[in-house]
Amino acid sequence: MMNLFTRWCSLFFLAISAGCSYDNVEELAPKIPCQTPAIVSYSLSISPLLDRNCRSCHNPTLLTGGVNLEDFAELKRRADTGQLLGVVNHMPGFAQMPKDGAKLSDCDLALLQKWVTAGALNN
Ligand code: HEC
pLDDT digits (tens, 9 = 90+) for 76-105: 999 999 999 999 999 999 999 999 999 999
93: Cα within 13 Å, side-chain hemisphere: 5
More confident residue, 114 or 21: 114
Q: Which residue's CA is the nearest one to ligand 1's atom 42?
A: 99
> What would the pLDDT profile of 35-91 be if each residue is shown by its tens digit?
889 999 999 999 999 999 999 999 999 999 999 999 999 999 999 999 999 999 999
Q: Which residue's CA is the nearest one to ligand 1's atom 26?
A: 95
45 C-alpha to center of ligand 1: Å? Answer: 19
- The C-alpha torsion from 69 through 72 and 74 to 76, rounded to 10°, is 110
68 C-alpha to center of ligand 1: Å? Answer: 10
